[in-house]
Amino acid sequence: MRITVVGSINLDLVARAPRLPRAGETVTGAALARHPGGKGANQALAARRLGAGVCLIGRVGDDAMAGEATALLDAGGVDLSALEVDPAAPTGVALIAVDPGGENQIVVAAGANHFVTPEQLPARIEGPLIVQLELPVETVEAAVGRAADFVCVNLAPAAPVSDQLLRRADLIVVNETEAAFYGAALHQGGGRVVTTLGARGAVMHQRGAEIARAAPPKVTAVDATGAGDAFVGAVCVALLEGMEPEAALTFACAAGALAATRAGAQPSLPTRAEVEALLG
């Protein structure tokens, strides 16, 4: 299996604070860490650590942050030959505040991600494709339109997309907030729609009817950053390997739960052996 991911690449600046600030409030006493991130990069590495071959198409700046942002992808065996370096825009940055219970607040400065254009994409994308919405929507639409195989669309962060994209997707993944944003439009095609429910697990629908549901194993959450991306990578790998819907959701819930037990987006992504050990 060789998956193409078209998506964002960021450097995450993570402040672990005693609590999350309210609007207009300053919270002191935080500890700062730097981790590779970006939904595209996270999902690419998640799928790679779970056993898939992965190629990532994206863009970074010509700056020192680019090396940090791609270090774990490179070390993990993700194919970065389609990565482009932007001479004018900085590498994307996410500013993340995390509280002791693992809840977070995130602000993203897209940087070079904003300049991933349809011209950077191949004329035809062979094999499975995963996309998210941290790139320009027209680039995401173009990638889906050029895909020849299975397409997973993670509609995050929520933004208007075409009905054609929603109908083309074989798998749509959303959280509860995103599901509310799109409403019934999610179910207009024949593909599967997975809604993640946080600690309550995930549910899968097809043509509006529930076909599977799973709950995550009990874990102690440290940082939820990257847990959703671990889930996306895992559910795609599981379905592409032929797992039945309930088994695929169970596998993905375990991957997301494991990611929440460790700090940072990419450093927290579990291996196949770790997921299988958790599931027993």
Q: Which residues are catalytic?
A: 229
Cβ distance 225 to 98 under 8 Å? yes
Q: What are the b/e assignments for 198-207, b being 16+ CB within 10 Å?
A: eeebbbbbee
Residue closest to 111 by CA, chosen among 50, 177, 65: 65
Beta strands in 185-227 (DSSP E): 192-196, 202-206, 209-214
- Count CB-CB contacts under 10 A for residue 187: 18
Contacts of 41 by beta carbon, 8 Å cutoff, 6+ apart:
7, 8, 9, 10, 56, 58, 69, 70, 73, 266
| 265: nearest Cα among 3, 59, 57, 76 | 76
Spatial neighbors of 206 by CB under 8 A, at least 6 apart, are: 190, 191, 192, 193
3-class SS of residue 140:
helix
Considering only CA atoms, give the Rg of the chain: 17
Give strand pairing partners of 154. Answer: 173
Long-range CB contacts for residues 24-30, cutoff 8 Å, separation at least 24:
27/97, 30/97
